[in-house]
Amino acid sequence: MDMNEAESGTVTVTGEEGWSAQQGEAIDEDESDDSVDIDMPRIEETQGRDGCSRPKRKRKEVDPFVQVYVARNAILQEKNRLFEKMVQMMERDQTYRVEHVVKILNELPGVIKWSPFHIAALKHLIADVANRQGFMAFSSADDKICYLEYRTGIKLSGGL
């Protein structure tokens, strides 16, 4: 005889007593008095974690918001780095712009606007960015004048 038959062999289910979907478990108050709670002995581990030959790794729980913030911060740092680089390039380009270089040329001591030296220096500086970079590389006004005299072949004092 089967174990299920032994337990439920005498029970007959009709349509009235059959299973129906219900919310929760129905317990009669009368049955609760008849039930007996048996305390089960607690099962203790025979071997503690100290006795394990291999330590178990704890898996780090990573908060998805932390991952998002870390990724966002990395992106923002890269964006800021690129922005700083762009600003530096713009400042460098501003330094070698024709307007800026001509302003410095006009402020040099002894330079008279539209003199032969001034016209030759303008032609030289406007011709190429490398010429403007060479001119701006010199820190003092005297060095700038000497550079232009050498490159144009015309002296500031008016002679050749």
3-class SS letters over 9-24: CCCCCCCCCCCCCCCC
Note the pLDDT of residue 49.
56
pTM of the model: 0.44
Note the pLDDT of residue 96.
80
Note the pLDDT of residue 126.
93
Is residue 152 a contact partner of residue 119, using CB atoms and an 8 Å limit?
no
Note the pLDDT of residue 80.
93
* Cα–Cα nearest to 117, from 158, 150, 82: 158
The tens place of each residue's pLDDT in the chain, 160 residues long, gives 566 666 666 666 665 555 555 555 555 555 555 555 566 656 555 555 555 566 666 667 778 888 999 999 999 999 999 989 888 887 777 778 889 999 999 999 999 999 999 999 999 999 998 999 999 999 999 999 999 999 999 998 855 5
CB atoms within 10 A of CB 144: 21
Note the pLDDT of residue 136.
92
Note the pLDDT of residue 95.
75
Domain residue limits, the chain: 97-152
Is residue 105 a contact partner of residue 143, using CB atoms and an 8 Å limit?
no
Residue 102: phi and psi, rounded to 5, are: -65, -40
